[in-house]
């Protein structure tokens, strides 16, 4: 893993990728390859499993994740936009009586420098659908949870926003010469996705389930140009509309389990079903309506839905709690296999993806009490190794009739957590 | 000790809390990378290719209505070498590796927003403030101030009348002053049927240069993406007696230790072959390779396109001036004809598409290349892309029929796939002015490809020189 | 002698308080932009609305993240307030009503002690304020240059506002605080042209970039019953920059649409003082200065190339000026018992106009005038109704804009001055004027605001 990391740094351009969607939220989940559905860090429960948001205590998590990417098509580095960001989470739980617990949590992931990056590539160009552009946007989750005896349940929403509106400009001419004027009316309506989690804690074992609704940033932007200048070929109205769903993240169903064979050892496992088959086209629909003196004929391209495949991803993790200078230290390792949802390419589109082996390692150290606050530091690393995949289209004349996709991703995640009882 | 530990913890916490917001400030957002375009089909047009012959630029007859430009060169004014116009002074242009002035006879020979003043292309001006430093507004155009010849660009003279740099054109009718040579800037000729390749690590090109009814094949060095230098200055394949003064349309195949060129006679009576071991001296074989024998060939064969594929040289050729494309197979070792298809391999209807390419009437100039075990065949075909234009006052304006570049591919030379959405290169400008693209040749390089073609108007009659479209990042 | 001692104490403490204020001012000089939305225009929560935002020296709950984060340090415990605010416009421009789009939203205000031990015990407080529209995160609306409208009210309230803040109680009588206002702007290219599919394809990359700024404040209580406050809110603007390039059948088109200052709030400095002569009455007086003169205006900047024609828009300059405002409010608890307390709030204020009425406008038709603000409200406080202290409040405010009248001037000969109107004919530029503000630009009216909320003290 270290050798792979070193090779990546030596040969690749830096990139910054979104942590929670690919790598997990927070260092614990990153190290365990997202197998901790049943026993997440309570501070990260809003994202990982809402049912754990009622864990007694008050917790605040602040972390940062940074990833390097080395994705290639035909050995040529893909120009991915950066993905790295800050994790901020807060969880509050209280015990009510002997059997009840109530609580809530919020979790946010804020990419560095921008809250979202909405991007569409031309449909005929290759793109890694899983790694761009969904990683480049913020995540904001809020949940409430309750527990009665061994049963817990939580629910909430993940908040995002669409973008729609129009931009218009006028090029005109009056007695004083030409002039330009413009107007815009763009709004960002909310887009909510449901979050649901359940859990059963039977002491040394536990099982849990989680559902995260599908999410994307919808874009519907119209640009209108009204030109009325003597002798200009575009005199008239030109209307360009661009609409699409950027950065689609599928709905996921997770089921997880935990087994503590001893006080020091915890084994976790999970299965995730991702509903990629519901994915909309990741290219934008473009129309150009012109009403000019002479309106040219245009061809509008409509790219079909990608027909992605649902995937089932197994994950497992081991946490061993050691003691270092009388302080508990968690050592974590995780593995996951992530199949590719992208089917064979047969037409003008050239989506790239490959199955991946995912390995995570990490550690967490209790730093003790300071002025009434219990502090803990966590660190994790995760490596994605994509198994190179060759795409061969049925016809030689199709764009990118033959291409190979592969590469690696490497993520580092670190966080500090403060807890009050 | 406890206090020290507590302090250390808080230092860690505070520094961590400071690090997190700083992360956004530390990195910089990288601009989006270059787009990925398919090497075979993702061509984007750009500036054309400058073909130079002995320091002069070859221009098409349609671009030189008044003849080739030549100007008087003042003694003591030397030209600077260049690779690109950006290396020249403002107002100058890099022509065939040399910075010089931009002569003209009228404004149509200048760029948009310029006038032809003093036989120079100049920026439009109303006063000196509209011009660059060191220039003055003279007769509506900016002109460089001068006191001696040295102040002027190559090809200019310092006028004693108003102290500005002017150009004196010369030619058969007008001569220069004594001591001032008349330097040609252009040479009028038609560039046709280009062919590019790499051989021995060097990029080479072959092109037919046509002057009236006479034509021959010349070789050129590919100096840069958009500049070829004809070298040697003599044809590498010239017409022989009885060939009507024209042999051209070269297609060259690299075989072990030699180049094999296929070319056609101007009258369509045969496709001939020659070979070379040094790339510039070609020895002609006495016997033609292909002659028109079938009815569908219409007594005319030409424009060969050859490629090595599945153990033989496959020679595609144009028949009956665009009625169809035929195919002959040649033994690589012996050069003998293995097979010649009795029926057309490609017909215009194979490129027809009701939406993307309508009314395809003819298919010409095949260019064949092998890629990843498949044979790619680039052709020029004549049809109408896009739908008709709509007139605001009512009615339609039909889309002009024009020549564009299409692509077909096959793995067995029997079943052919065509590019599904019409031409791979078709130009349109100014809403409905369709331009023509003829006689394609494709060079595949690392990560991309060059598509060289002969530009023309929609009719295909008036050619405008060699164009270049590129694909890849 | 006692008065002298009291005065010495006050002066001494004020001098000590000035140091963190100076440090904060220095920090804020180099800090990024900030601002608020509906709170800036109308007030935060029912008490803020009723007191016409004369709260800088009074607020010590979650609303202080906006009014004065230093006041947050002077509070105790944990308060959570939810409120709804609605606006009704009677603004008129050229005889047409100017509505406020998206006129309703909800606010959340949270203030809480941070339960530390040791030297930081009872010193640190955190606050969180948020305002959200019911259906959208934000609306960004920039009008055409000739539209008559009120830039003071137009598209200044239609956005999510989130301000987390932290405050430190340096001593029992002094608190400082700072908050960060985070939002985002949009920028990036949109390219539409024929692609490899031969159809129109787009390359689009829009960045929703984080915009963050500061709100900072100082609160000093030199003696019991007297509070002095100094607050600063940095100027805020949402950047919007979209570059659209297209190829329309061989004709290149490029449009660069840009503004750095949509949803604009100017830099504001507030100086305030409040006295509490008894446990039933509290009076506050605020003075504020808003730097509107730094605003480039509410119009888009257009830079376009269509075929060979390049055009750029020209925004008028010098139309806006700084404003001064005076606000006063009184809180009176007229009924107090062990189970319930009832109080009333009244406020009034005056603010000068942000438009320089001496500057004549040409194509533009901005309308504004001096504003008179009157507010009133009621608070019902129940110390133990649900096992916790609960407060229900309602506040209303009426803002009246003085009438604006400006005669337009037509151009008599080209080239025309920028403050004149031009017709279509070069030879007769003063004829055929179609500008909606011609011949006279008129506007007046007001806005009514209502806010209802509930607060729980944990």
pLDDT digits (tens, 9 = 90+) for B379-389: 999 999 877 77
- Which own/partner contact pairs does B93-99 have at CB distance under 8 Å and 24+ positions apart? B95/B50, B95/B57, B95/B185, B96/B50, B96/B52, B96/B55, B96/B56, B96/B57, B96/B227, B96/B229, B97/B52, B97/B55, B97/B223, B97/B227, B97/B229, B98/B55, B98/B154, B99/B153, B99/B154
> Given phi > 0 = left and psi -120 to 50 = alpha, else beta, which region is C362?
alpha
Using one digit for the tens of pLDDT, what is the confidence trace for B408-425? 999 999 999 999 989 999
Q: Is the pLDDT of residue B32 over 80?
A: no
Instruction: Assess whether pLDDT exceeds 90 at residue C281.
Output: yes
Give the pLDDT confidence score for residue B20 in this predicted structure: 60
Instruction: Dump strand ranges (E) for C145-291.
Output: 148-149, 161-171, 174-194, 200-223, 226-233, 236-248, 251-265, 268-275, 281-290
The pLDDT confidence band at residue A281, using thresholds 50, 70 and 90, is confident
Inspect the interface and report whether the beta carbons of B32 and C207 lie closer than 8 Å: no
Of A183, A227, A298, Cβ closest to residue C143: A183
With an 8 Å Cβ cutoff, are A301 and C136 in contact? no
Residues B186-240 have pLDDT tens digits of 999 999 999 999 898 888 999 999 998 899 999 999 998 889 999 999 999 999 9
Name the A residues in 106-145 with CB < 8 Å from any C CB: 110, 113-125, 137
How many other CB atoms sit within 10 Å of the CB of residue B257?
A: 7
Distance from the Cα of residue C200 to its chain's centroid: 42
Domain residue limits at A251:
2-420
Percent of chain C exceeding pLDDT 70 equals: 92
- Sequence-ordered list of residues with C-beta below 8 angstroms from that of C292, at least 6 positions apart, any chain: C266, C320, C321, C322, C323, C354
What is the residue-wise DSSP string for B297-344? GTT-EEEEEEEEETTEEEEEEEETTTTEEEEEEEETTT--EEEE-SS-
Dihedrals phi, psi of B305, to nearest 5 degrees: -135, 110
DSSP state of A380: E
| pLDDT digits 0-9 by tens, B244-259 | 899 999 999 999 889 9
Chain segment B47-91, per-residue pLDDT in tens: 899 999 998 999 999 888 778 888 888 876 778 889 888 899 888
Q: Scanning every residue of chain C, which has its alpha carbon at the shortest distance from the alpha carbon of A399?
A: C196
pLDDT confidence bin for A17, thresholds 50/70/90: very low
**Mean pLDDT: which of B157-161, C5-9, C152-156, C301-305 is highest?**
C152-156
Tens of pLDDT, residues C394-403: 999 999 999 9
Hey, what are C9's tokens? 């104490």
Q: What is the pLDDT of residue C198?
A: 73
**Confidence band (pLDDT; 50, 70, 90) for A81?**
low
Residue C245 · residue C252 · CB < 8 Å: yes
- Cβ atoms of residues B262 and B304 within 8 Å: yes
Residues with Cβ within 8 Å of A16's Cβ and at least 6 positions away in sequence, in order, are A66, A67, A82, A83, A84, A85, A111, A112, B27
Distance in Å, alpha carbon of B149 to nearest chain C alpha carbon: 35
**Which pLDDT does position A248 carry in this prediction?**
84
Name subunits touching B (3+ CB pairs < 8 A): A, C
At residue B172, the pLDDT reads: 77
Query: Could you tell me which residues are beta bridge partners of residue A88?
Result: A62, A108
- Chain C residues whose CB is inside 8 A of the A299 CB are 194, 198-200
Between these two residues, A280 and C18, which has the higher pLDDT value? A280
Looking at chain B, the number of H-run helices and the number of E-run strands are 1, 37
Query: Which of the pair, B365 or B461, is modelled with greater confidence?
Result: B365
Numbered ranges of CATH 2.115.10.20 in chain B = 7-51+187-471
In the prediction, which pLDDT does A11 show? 31
Q: What residue has token string 């009872």?
A: C122
Please give the Cα distance from C118 to C126 (Å, whole number).
18
Per-residue CA distances from C160 to B264, C107, C139 (Å): 73, 10, 9
Of C136, C255, C416, the CB nearest to A190: C136
Q: Over pLDDT 70: what percentage of chain A? A: 90
- Residue A213 pLDDT level (bands cut at 50, 70, 90): very high
Name the 3-class secondary structure at B22: helix
Give yes or no for A299 touching C (CB within 8 A): yes
Chain-centroid distance of CA A60 in Å reads 22
In this predicted structure, what is the pLDDT of residue A287?
A: 81
pLDDT band at C8 (very low <50, low <70, confident <90, very high): low
Q: What is the pLDDT of residue C22?
A: 44
pLDDT band for position A261 (cuts 50, 70, 90)? very high
Please give the span between the terminal C-alpha atoms of chain A, in angstroms, as a whole number.
38
State the pLDDT at residue A390: 96
Q: How far apart are CA A419 and CA A43, in angstroms?
A: 9
Asked if the ipTM is above 0.90, the reply is no
B432 contact residues in A (CB cutoff 8 A)? 294, 296
Question: In the predicted model, what is the mean pLDDT of residues C411-432?
Answer: 86
Q: Closest to C142 (Cβ–Cβ): which among A184, A287, A303? A: A184
Domain count, chain A: 1
pLDDT, residue A4, reads 36
Residue C230 φ then ψ, to 5°: -140, 125
Give the chain B residue whose CA is nearest to the CA of A234.
Answer: B431
The gap between the terminal CA atoms of chain C, to the nearest Å, is 43
- Phi, psi values for residue C39, rounded to 5°: -65, -40
Give me the mean pLDDT over the C8-18 stretch. 55
Residue A129 DSSP SS3: coil
Quote the CA–CA distance of C63 and B239 in Å, as a whole number.
93
CATH number at residue A322: 2.40.160.60
Q: Which of A86, A119, A368 has the CB atom closest to B5's CB atom?
A: A368
Distance (Å, whole) CA C39 – CA C63: 10
- Of residues C198, C207, C308, nearest to B422 (C-beta): C198
**Which of the four pLDDT bands, split at 50, 70 and 90, describes residue C68?**
very high
Kind of pairing between the strands at B436-445 and B433-434: unpaired
Distance from CA of B32 to the nearest CA of C (A): 8
Class of domain B7-51+187-471: mainly beta
- Distance CA(B104)–CA(B69), nearest Å, equals 8
Q: Which of B149, B59, B161 is nearest to B104 (CA)?
A: B59
**Is C250 in contact with B431 (Cβ distance < 8 A)?**
yes
Q: What is the CA radius of gyration of chain C?
A: 25
Chain B residues within 8 Å of chain C (Cβ atoms): 24, 29, 32, 35, 37-38, 41-42, 112-113, 356, 385-386, 421-423, 427-433
Q: Give yes or no for residue C15 having a pLDDT over 80.
A: no
Buried b (16+ CB within 10 A) or exposed e, B84-105: eeeebeebbbbbbbbbbbbbbe
Q: Please say if the pLDDT value at position A232 is more than 80.
A: no
Neighbours of A356 (CB within 10 A): 22
* Segment C415-427 mean pLDDT: 86
Optimal mutation site among B36, B368, B449, B473, interface A, most CBs of chain A within 10 A: B36
- Helix or strand (DSSP H, E) at A186: strand A177-201
């Amino acid at each position: 893993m270290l050798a792979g990391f070193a090779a990546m740094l030596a040969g690749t351009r830096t990139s910054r990728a979104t942590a929670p969607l690919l790598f997990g939220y927070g260092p614990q989940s990153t190290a365990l390859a997202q197998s901790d559905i049943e026993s997440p860090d309570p501070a990260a429960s809003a994202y990982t499993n809402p049912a754990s948001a009622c864990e007694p205590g008050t917790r605040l998590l602040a972390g940062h994740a940074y990833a390097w990417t080395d994705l290639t098509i035909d050995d040529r580095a893909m120009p991915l936009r950066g993905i790295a960001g800050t994790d901020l989470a807060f969880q509050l739980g209280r015990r009510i009586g002997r059997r009840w617990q109530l609580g809530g949590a919020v979790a946010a992931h804020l990419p560095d420098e921008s809250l979202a990056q909405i991007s569409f590539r031309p449909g005929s160009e290759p793109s890694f659908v899983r790694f761009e552009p969904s990683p480049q946007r913020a995540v904001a989750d809020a949940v409430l949870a309750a527990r009665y005896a061994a049963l817990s349940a939580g629910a909430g929403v993940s908040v995002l926003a669409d973008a729609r509106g129009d931009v218009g400009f006028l090029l005109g001419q009056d007695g004083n010469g030409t002039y330009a004027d413009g107007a815009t009316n763009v709004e960002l309506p909310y887009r909510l996705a449901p979050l649901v989690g359940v859990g059963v804690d039977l002491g040394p074992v536990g099982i849990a389930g989680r559902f995260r609704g599908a999410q994307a940033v919808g874009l519907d932007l119209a640009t209108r140009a009204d030109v009325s200048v003597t002798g200009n070929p575009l005199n008239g109205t030109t209307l360009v509309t661009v609409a699409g769903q950027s950065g689609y993240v599928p709905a996921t169903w997770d089921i997880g389990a935990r087994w503590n064979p001893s006080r020091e050892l915890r084994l976790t496992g999970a299965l995730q079903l991702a509903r990629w088959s519901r994915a909309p086209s990741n290219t934008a629909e473009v129309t150009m309506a012109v009403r000019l003196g002479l309106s040219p004929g245009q061809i509008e391209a409509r790219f079909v839905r990608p027909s992605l495949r649902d995937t089932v991803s197994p994950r497992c993790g081991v946490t061993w709690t050691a003691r270092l200078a009388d302080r508990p230290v968690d050592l974590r390792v995780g593995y996951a296999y992530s199949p590719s949802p992208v089917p064979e390419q047969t037409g003008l589109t050239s989506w790239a993806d490959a199955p991946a082996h995912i390995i995570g390692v990490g550690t967490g150290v209790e730093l003790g009490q300071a002025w009434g606050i219990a502090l803990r530091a966590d660190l994790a690393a995760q490596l994605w190794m994509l198994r190179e995949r060759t795409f061969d289209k049925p016809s030689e004349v199709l764009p990118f009739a033959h291409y190979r996709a592969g590469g690696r991703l490497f993520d580092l995640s670190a966080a500090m957590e403060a807890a009050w009882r | 000790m406890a206090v020290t530990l507590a302090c250390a913890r808080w230092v860690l916490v505070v520094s961590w809390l400071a690090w997190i917001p700083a992360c956004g400030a530390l990195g910089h957002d990288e601009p989006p990378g270059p787009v990925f375009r398919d090497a075979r089909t993702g061509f984007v047009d750009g500036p054309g290719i400058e073909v130079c012959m002995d320091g002069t630029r070859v221009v098409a007859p349609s671009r030189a209505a008044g003849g080739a430009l030549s100007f008087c060169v003042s003694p003591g004014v030397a030209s600077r070498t260049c690779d690109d116009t950006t290396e020249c002074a403002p107002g100058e242009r890099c022509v065939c590796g040399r910075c010089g002035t931009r002569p003209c006879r009228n404004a149509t020979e200048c760029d948009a927003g310029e006038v032809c003043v003093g036989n120079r292309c100049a920026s439009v001006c109303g006063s000196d403030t509209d011009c660059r430093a060191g220039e003055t507004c003279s007769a509506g155009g900016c002109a460089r101030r001068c006191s001696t010849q040295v102040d002027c660009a190559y090809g200019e003279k310092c006028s004693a009348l108003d102290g500005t740099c002017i150009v004196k054109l010369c030619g058969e009718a007008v001569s220069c002053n004594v001591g001032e040579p008349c330097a040609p800037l252009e040479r009028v000729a038609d560039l046709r049927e280009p062919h590019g390749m790499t051989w021995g690590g060097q990029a080479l090109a072959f092109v037919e240069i046509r002057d009236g009814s006479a034509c021959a094949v010349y070789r050129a060095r590919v100096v840069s993406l958009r500049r070829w230098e004809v070298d040697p200055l003599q044809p590498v394949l010239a017409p022989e007696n009885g060939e009507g003064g024209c042999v051209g349309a070269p297609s060259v195949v690299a075989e072990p230790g030699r180049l094999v060129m296929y070319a056609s006679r101007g009258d369509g009576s045969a496709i001939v072959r020659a070979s070379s071991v040094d790339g510039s001296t070609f020895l002609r074989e006495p016997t033609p390779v292909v002659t028109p024998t079938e009815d569908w060939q219409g007594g005319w064969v030409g424009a060969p396109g050859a490629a090595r594929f599945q153990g033989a040289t496959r020679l595609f050729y144009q028949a009956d001036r665009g009625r169809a494309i035929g195919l002959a197979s040649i033994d690589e070792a012996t050069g003998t004809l293995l097979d010649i298809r009795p029926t057309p391999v490609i017909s215009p209807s194979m490129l027809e598409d009701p939406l993307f390419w309508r009314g395809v009437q003819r298919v010409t100039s095949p260019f064949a290349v092998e890629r990843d075990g498949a044979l790619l065949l680039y052709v020029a075909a004549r049809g109408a892309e896009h739908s008709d234009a709509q007139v605001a006052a009512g009615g339609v304006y039909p889309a002009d029929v024009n020549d564009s570049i299409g692509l077909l591919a096959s793995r067995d030379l029997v079943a052919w796939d065509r590019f599904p959405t019409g031409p791979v290169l078709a130009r349109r400008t100014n809403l409905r002015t369709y331009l023509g693209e003829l006689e394609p040749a494709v060079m595949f390089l690392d990560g991309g490809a060059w598509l060289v073609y002969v530009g023309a108007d929609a009719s295909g009659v008036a050619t405008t020189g060699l164009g270049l479209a590129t694909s890849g990042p | 002698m006692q008065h002298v001692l009291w005065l010495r104490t006050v002066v001494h403490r004020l001098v000590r308080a000035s140091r963190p204020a100076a440090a904060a001012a220095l920090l804020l000089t180099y800090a990024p932009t900030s601002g608020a939305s509906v709170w800036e225009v109308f007030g935060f929560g029912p008490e803020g609305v009723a007191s016409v935002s004369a709260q800088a020296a009074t607020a010590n709950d979650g609303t202080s993240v906006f009014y004065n984060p230093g006041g947050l340090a002077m509070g105790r415990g944990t308060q959570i307030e939810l409120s709804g605010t609605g606006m009704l416009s009677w603004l008129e421009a050229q005889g047409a009503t100017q509505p406020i789009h998206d006129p309703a939203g909800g606010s959340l205000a949270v203030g809480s002690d941070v339960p530390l031990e040791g030297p930081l015990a009872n010193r640190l407080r955190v606050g969180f304020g948020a305002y959200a529209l019911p259906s959208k995160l934000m609306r960004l609306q920039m009008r055409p240059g000739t539209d008559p409208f009120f830039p003071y009210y137009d598209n200044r309230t239609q956005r999510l506002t989130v301000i987390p803040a932290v405050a430190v109680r340096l001593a029992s009588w002094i608190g400082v605080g700072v908050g960060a206002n985070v939002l985002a702007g949009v920028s990036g290219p949109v390219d539409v042209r024929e692609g490899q599919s031969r159809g129109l394809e787009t390359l689009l990359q829009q960045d929703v970039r984080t915009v963050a700024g500061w709100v900072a404040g100082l609160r000093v209580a030199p003696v019991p019953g007297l509070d002095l406050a100094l607050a600063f809110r940095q100027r805020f603007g949402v950047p919007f920059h979209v570059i659209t390039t297209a190829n329309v059948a061989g004709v290149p088109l490029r449009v660069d649409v840009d503004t750095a200052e949509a949803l604009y709030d100017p830099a504001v400095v507030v100086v305030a003082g409040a006295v509490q002569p008894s446990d039933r009455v509290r009076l506050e007086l605020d003075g504020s200065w808003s730097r509107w003169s730094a605003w480039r205006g509410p119009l888009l900047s257009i830079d376009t190339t269509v075929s060979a024609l390049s055009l750029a828009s020209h925004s008028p300059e010098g139309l806006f000026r700084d404003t001064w405002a005076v606000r006063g409010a009184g809180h009176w608890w007229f009924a107090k018992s062990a189970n319930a307390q009832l109080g009333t709030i009244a406020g009034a204020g005056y603010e000068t106009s942000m438009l320089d009425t001496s500057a004549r406008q040409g194509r533009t038709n901005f309308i504004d005038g001096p504003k008179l603000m009157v507010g009133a409200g009621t608070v019902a406080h129940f110390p133990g109704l649900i096992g916790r202290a609960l407060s229900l409040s309602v506040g209303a405010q009426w803002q009246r804009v003085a009438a604006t009248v400006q005669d337009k001037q037509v151009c008599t000969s080209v080239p025309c001055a920028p403050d004149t109107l031009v017709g279509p004919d070069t030879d007769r530029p003063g004829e055929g004027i179609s500008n909606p503000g011609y011949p006279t630009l008129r506007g007046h009216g007001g806005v009514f605001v209502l806010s209802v909320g509930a607060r729980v003290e944990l």
